[in-house]
């Protein structure tokens, strides 16, 4: 079935993730927008029932900045999709992968978003800790200017 495996979107977890990004990055969070329906644009906050958040951050790994699209589902599935010009990757948890050969906690690496490799992030909850782990992997790549370091961390929650 895919991400969420039929479970509703978890708006509170999305909000918790955005707040954690603000706490961790401070002025590095340039903008936050929200999507309320699939296929609709990201806009300013206008209600409680979110589908996704877009957090624009600076600096980027190779560019001046990029953004994370964040989604959470009530079954604990999540997606942190990072993009900057010429680069994107994604961390996720997808319970529907359990009966397959794809890892539940997975990483879609740069230049091969169809691949499902094991994620270095092993926790599922709370959103605060998952967000900290995602930011740790991203920040290591930013500091070194090397996207190959994104999923190369050890000892993350």
Q: Mean pLDDT of all residues in the chain?
A: 91
pLDDT in tens, 72-114: 999 999 999 999 999 999 999 988 887 888 888 899 999 888 8
pLDDT digits 0-9 by tens, 21-53 = 999 999 999 999 999 988 889 998 887 788 999
Task: Give the global pTM.
Answer: 0.92
Say yes or no to pLDDT of 156 above 80. no
CA distance linking residue 150 with residue 120, whole number of Å: 9
């Amino acid at each position: 079935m895919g991400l969420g495996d039929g479970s509703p979107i978890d708006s509170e977890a999305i909000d918790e993730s955005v707040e954690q990004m603000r706490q961790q990055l401070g002025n590095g969070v340039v903008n936050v927008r929200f999507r309320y329906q699939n296929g609709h644009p990201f806009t300013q906050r206008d209600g409680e029932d979110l589908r996704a958040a877009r957090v624009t951050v600076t600096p980027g790994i190779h560019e001046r900045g990029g953004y994370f699209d964040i989604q959470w589902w009530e079954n604990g599935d999540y997606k942190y999709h990072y993009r900057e010009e010429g680069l994107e990757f994604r961390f996720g948890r997808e319970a529907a992968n359990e009966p397959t050969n794809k890892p539940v906690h997975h990483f879609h690496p740069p230049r091969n978003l169809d691949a499902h490799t094991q994620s270095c992030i092993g926790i599922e909850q709370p959103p605060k800790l998952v967000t900290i782990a995602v930011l740790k992997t991203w920040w290591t790549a930013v500091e070194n200017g090397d996207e190959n370091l994104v999923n190369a961390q050890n000892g993350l929650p």
